[in-house]
């Protein structure tokens, strides 16, 4: 199925140009946009959201919940989040290896020829992702070691540009890490935490109180990560825009405005959850309310990912 998907995307790439924004043989895609590149960027973002979100759920939420009962521990089993981490790592491999594979098809070259010229950083990232995959897979048999390996692997892989790239690459790496910590952890919290509490809550276990503890543990993590997202996002925009008029005179600027609109929607929903929904948690039925509001926040988050996937394929204003 994966090969069929890549081959289907290859047909698109033949019309729009190869991933990475490189000009195709018959000329560059209009405006520098590539559907294939945007697709793999979106897959990459989803991969980091799931992998880093699994780590955020394990270390930033479950570990902070006060005195969980055995019933609570059963519902919030760590290996449930690790499964999402594995899915995230697989998506990351697809995103990093899928682009060169498509280029090898469209340009009739070998897969090895399409790999990055500076191969050492690429090999390091692949090795770290493999380490993270092994770590997530080990969680079921050795929880402590598995989570440690997963954390080391994914953080080194994601933050690699911090010590190998220019300023814009460094800022972007931190931006993605913070966004994944915020919305990725919220995604895992909704799927593995709130959903399972509502679905499997047993007699004698207060679902509302457990959700209250989960959300309270998530709030400091979310506020810190959201602040970093805002700071790094503004820095990235300043580095790429060059001038304010580029916001409405260039395709990059227009795409950025669209993204910012969705980001504001996410921030508003996050503030609503924190100020209005969170204080009501602990009451009967409040767990259903936070689930609905978190779903809305994640929906806008998904739109931010799509807009960002398009944005990064467009040329920066000159």
Q: pLDDT for 200-212, tens place per residue? A: 654 445 667 777 7
Average pLDDT over residues 301-309: 91
Residue recorded with tokens 């340009």: 107
Of 163, 164, 19, 154, nearest to 95 by C-alpha is: 19
Beta-bridge partner residues of 283: 281
Is the pLDDT assigned to residue 228 strictly greater than 90? yes
Backbone CA torsion sign across 249, 254, 255, 259: positive
Instruction: Give the model's confidence band at 249: pLDDT under 50 very low, under 70 low, under 90 confident, else very high.
Output: confident
- Could you tell me the pTM of the whole model? 0.81
Q: CA-to-CA distance for 191 and 170, rounded, in angstroms?
A: 31
Q: What is the pLDDT of residue 124?
A: 92
Q: For residues 244 and 256, is the Cβ–Cβ distance under 8 A? A: no
Burial class, 64, CB count within 10 angstroms (exposed 0-12 / middle 13-18 / buried 19+) = middle
* Domain extent listing, the chain: 2-13+35-311
Is the pLDDT assigned to residue 9 strictly greater than 60? no
In CATH, what number does 2-13+35-311 get?
A: 1.20.1630
Q: What is the pLDDT of residue 72?
A: 61
Buried b (16+ CB within 10 A) or exposed e, 111-135: eeebbeeeeeebeebbebbebbbeb
Question: How is residue 207 written in tokens?
Answer: 């679902």
Q: CA-to-CA distance for 228 and 125, rounded, in angstroms?
A: 24
Q: What percent of the chain has pLDDT over 70?
A: 80
Q: CA-to-CA distance for 304 and 86, rounded, in angstroms?
A: 23
Instruction: Give the model's confidence band at 12: pLDDT under 50 very low, under 70 low, under 90 confident, else very high.
Output: very low
Q: What is the pLDDT of residue 180?
A: 94
Beta-bridge partner residues of 60: none
Instruction: Give the model's confidence band at 302: pLDDT under 50 very low, under 70 low, under 90 confident, else very high.
Output: very high
Instruction: Give the model's confidence band at 73: pLDDT under 50 very low, under 70 low, under 90 confident, else very high.
Output: low
């Amino acid at each position: 199925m994966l090969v069929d998907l890549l081959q289907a995307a290859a047909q698109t790439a033949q019309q729009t140009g190869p991933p990475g924004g490189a000009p195709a043989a018959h000329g560059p895609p209009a405006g520098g946009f590539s559907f294939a590149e945007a697709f793999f960027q979106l897959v990459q973002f989803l991969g980091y959201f799931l992998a880093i979100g699994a780590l955020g759920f394990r270390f930033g939420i479950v570990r902070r919940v006060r005195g969980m009962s055995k019933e609570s521990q059963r519902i919030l089993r760590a290996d449930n989040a690790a499964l999402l981490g594995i899915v995230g790592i697989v998506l990351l491999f697809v995103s990093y290896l899928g682009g060169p594979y498509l280029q090898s098809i469209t340009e009739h070259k070998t897969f090895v020829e399409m790999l990055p010229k500076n191969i050492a950083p690429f090999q390091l990232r692949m090795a770290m992702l493999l380490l993270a995959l092994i770590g997530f897979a080990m969680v079921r048999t050795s929880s402590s070691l598995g989570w440690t390996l997963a954390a080391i692997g994914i953080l080194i892989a994601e933050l690699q540009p911090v010590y190998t790239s220019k300023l814009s690459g460094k800022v972007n790496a931190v931006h993605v890490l913070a966004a994944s910590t915020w919305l990725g952890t919220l995604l895992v919290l909704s799927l593995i935490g709130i959903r399972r509490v509502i679905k499997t809550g047993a007699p004698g276990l207060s679902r509302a109180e457990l959700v209250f503890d989960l959300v309270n543990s998530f709030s400091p993590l979310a506020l810190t990560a959201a602040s970093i997202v805002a700071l790094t996002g503004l820095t990235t925009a300043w580095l790429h825009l060059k001038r304010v008029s580029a916001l409405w005179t260039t395709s990059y600027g227009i795409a950025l405005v669209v993204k910012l609109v969705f980001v504001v929607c996410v921030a508003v929903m996050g503030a609503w959850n924190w100020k209005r929904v969170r204080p009501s948690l602990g009451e009967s039925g409040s767990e259903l309310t936070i689930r609905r509001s978190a779903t809305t926040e994640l929906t806008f988050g998904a739109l931010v990912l799509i807009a960002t996937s398009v944005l990064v394929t467009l040329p920066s204003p000159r």
